[in-house]
Amino acid sequence: MNRPDPAKPERRPKQRSCGSVHTRRLEQALRNAEFHADADRVWRWIADGSTTRIVIKFELLADLDDQPAPATFQFAECEQLGAANLRGTGFAERDIVVQELRTRIGGVDHTAEVNVAGLAGFLLAKAAAAYSRRKPKDWYDIAFVLLHNDHGGVTEAAELVNIVFGGELVGAIRTALDDLHANFADPLAQGPQAYAEQMLIDHPDLDETTLLADAVTAVDEFHRAVTATGEPDL
């Protein structure tokens, strides 16, 4: 049995009362599906897949104005389930599209409809995440989705952002968008470098110079399109 180290006081996340009936049901559903809470993160639950090579992660994120970022809180009526407060995730929540998922298990076809973040919500949430986390994965994700989304490309992505959130691209999210642009300013910046590095791992036959240029151009075009009609807060 592990005992707490008296020299290191146990840090418990703050509790928050929010949809207690639903959060209790969600926690029990996760346990029934053989998920378990991460030892250090109440907002992440993990399940081992059917093979040792697969790990499934279920994460709960929030975007609360009355909580600091990246604060962690636990739902008051749950034993372990909680969420992490991450700025920008609210954009993903407010741009929802329904996707149909199909699979075949034991010779039987199964179909389910799930709500996923739309392209506009995803891009703004990712921009906020990149601004706060500074991780290469976030720079790569943004450039890849701008260049290879199902709607057609950068122009279509920017149009969607303007349609869904055009009047809200000020304040903190405008700062994140400006920061995104700065980190894709030239081929030596960390954004294009992260995009090209991962693309060359996945597709070694591609040309690095072209990948770098594509990333710089995509983010520049996107930034100009979504900030053209608004002014940042002073």
Predicted confidence (pLDDT) per residue in 25-55, tens digit:
888 888 887 888 887 777 788 877 555 555 6
Residues 131, 76 share a domain: no
Structural domain boundaries enclosing 198: 119-227
Interatomic CA distance for residues 213 and 56, integer angstroms? 34
pLDDT at 7: 46
What tokens does 173 get? 């999210």
Closest listed residue to residue 176, CA positions, set 104, 96, 89? 89
pLDDT at 233: 43
194 belongs to a structural domain: yes
pLDDT at 6: 43
Interatomic CA distance for residues 52 and 194, integer angstroms? 28
> What residues of the chain score a pLDDT lower than 50?
1-12, 16-17, 19, 230-234
pLDDT at 44: 81
Final residue in a domain of this structure, among 86, 110, 139? 86
Residues 193, 135 share a domain: yes
How many domains, in total, are found in the chain? Answer: 2
pLDDT at 234: 38
36 belongs to a structural domain: yes
Residues 146, 56 share a domain: no
Closest listed residue to residue 149, CA positions, set 97, 104, 187? 97
150 belongs to a structural domain: yes
CA distance to 19, 30, 36, per residue, from 33 (Å): 21, 5, 9
Residues 221, 124 share a domain: yes
50 belongs to a structural domain: yes
112 belongs to a structural domain: no
Residues 81, 134 share a domain: no
38 touches 45 (CB < 8 A): yes
Interatomic CA distance for residues 96 and 198, integer angstroms? 28
156 belongs to a structural domain: yes
pLDDT at 27: 84
What tokens does 40 get? 């250090």
234 belongs to a structural domain: no
